Amino acid sequence: MDRRNVLGLSAIMALGPTLMSRNAVAQQKTLKEQLAGAWTLVSNETFGKDGTKRQDFGANPKGILILDASGRYTAAQMRSDRPKFKTSANLRLDTPASEYGEAARAFAVNFGTWSVNEADKSLMRHYDGALIPNNEGLDTKVSVSLAGDELKLSGNSPLTGERTDAVFKRAK
């Protein structure tokens, strides 16, 4: 073995543990740090108490979940095929209330604060505002499963007891 190979091998052996420890530190982010950011909705399935499955936002839902590092969040989801208004009005206040029915039923939004429980890998959200006024002030808890850029949230509704599984991809 010549001198260059010995020096190169020595450098790799000396730097190897340092590089490996940096990767280990990077992989040891808290659950909150891993969740912070923007996520796009992939699927949303609700399971009734009798086990029946529904897709309340259709087979190809659209949506976003934004969890900011300071503990604030917003979530919106909708059916991609929700009906357009029949009137030509593009302004919310110019559209007759009668036309809001199906369009509103195919859309959900809420915002508030969020936190995590690192021990049981759960996400808690407090609704400060919601499309459905009765949900304001509601606290929800869902289990979190992370695999790469995929996030799965599973939990039971505090109102109905039904389980919802929502899958998101990290927004890029």
Structural domain boundaries enclosing 24: 1-29
Query: Could you tell me if 100 and 147 lie in one domain?
Result: yes
Q: Which of 39-43, 48-52, 90-94, 134-138 has the highest mean pLDDT?
A: 39-43
How sure is the predictor about 17, in pLDDT bands with cuts at 50, 70 and 90?
A: low
- Domain shared by 52 and 23, yes or no: no
69 and 8 in one domain? no
Rg of the chain in Å (alpha carbons) = 23
| pTM value > 0.85 | no
Shared domain for 18 and 42, answered yes or no, is no
Three-point CA angle 55, 108, 60, nearest 5°:
35
Shared domain for 110 and 126, answered yes or no, is: yes
| 39 neighbors 152 (Cβ within 8 angstroms) | no
Residues 48 and 77 in one domain: yes
Judge if 17 and 74 occupy the same domain: no
Q: Which of 13, 121, 90, 106 is nearest to 56 (CA)?
A: 106
Same domain, 67 and 137: yes
